[in-house]
Amino acid sequence: MSHLRPELRQRAEETVALYPQRRSAMLPLLHLVQEQDGYLSAEGMDEVAELTGTTPAEVRGTASFYDMFHLEPVGTYVVGVCTNIACLLAGGQELLQHASERLGCAVGSTSPDGLFTLEETECLADCNIAPCVQVNHRFVRTTTPDSFDALVSDLREGRRGDEVPPHGTLNRVRRVGGLRVSRTQIASERSTALAARDARTTAEPK
């Protein structure tokens, strides 16, 4: 019995097929588990182990290396405020402090209503709009306490649905096309491509 919903399970299997080795699909698959469960459930990690040919200990060990993966449930909205150097110089530390008070939870924890998890992040690569804030890994371009408050009300009232999908949803665009379809097709396409390459590279450049 698959823990992933059929539609996600299918995406997972397609993802595995994209890579020459199964284990490569580890990070994308963990994102899928998070898309379904909001965090990395034990059942989800077990399934990733099966799909990638690894042990559950390796899956959990790998996942825990990466900040975006949550081994415990988190709030509906994971709010990240950057305090790294450019944001620090623009008041990131203060904005984080404000967020903590406003959301009613300490940095690294979840608000009592379960709606928000607040994180202090490292640089998010949007330093010209500092301090930088992400919600569920979407840049919300909110740099002042006031605009932060507005953001929180919007989220509470579900006004940013399009912009901010549920936590864990990373890439809403499905892959269409590409070389990789079935294993055998990949192999044959690759060998024709390699033969063609040999033909080209042995010819002298003009």
Q: Contacts with another protein in 117-146 (CB under 8 A)?
A: 121-128, 130, 134, 136-139
- Sheet of 77-82, strands arranged across: 116-121, 77-82, 133-135, 138-139
Extended strands (E) in 32-139: 77-82, 116-121, 133-135, 138-139
Among 2, 24, 109, 147, indicate the residue that binds another protein (CB under 8 A): 24
Q: Which is nearer to another protein, 53 or 114 (CB)?
A: 53
Question: DSSP class of residue 105?
Answer: S
Among 6, 65, 162, 184, indicate the residue that binds another protein (CB under 8 A): 65
- Minimum CB separation of residue 198 from another protein in Å reads 9
Q: Does 9 bind another protein (CB under 8 A)?
A: no
Q: Please tell me the number of Cα atoms within 13 Å of 186 on its side-chain side.
A: 11
Q: Which two tokens stand for residue 154?
A: 């919007």
Sign of torsion over alpha carbons 99, 102, 103, 108:
positive
Q: Does 170 bind another protein (CB under 8 A)?
A: yes
- Minimum CB separation of residue 25 from another protein in Å reads 6
Q: Which is nearer to another protein, 26 or 155 (CB)?
A: 26
Name residues contacting another protein, limited to 70-89 (CB under 8 A). Answer: 83-86, 88-89
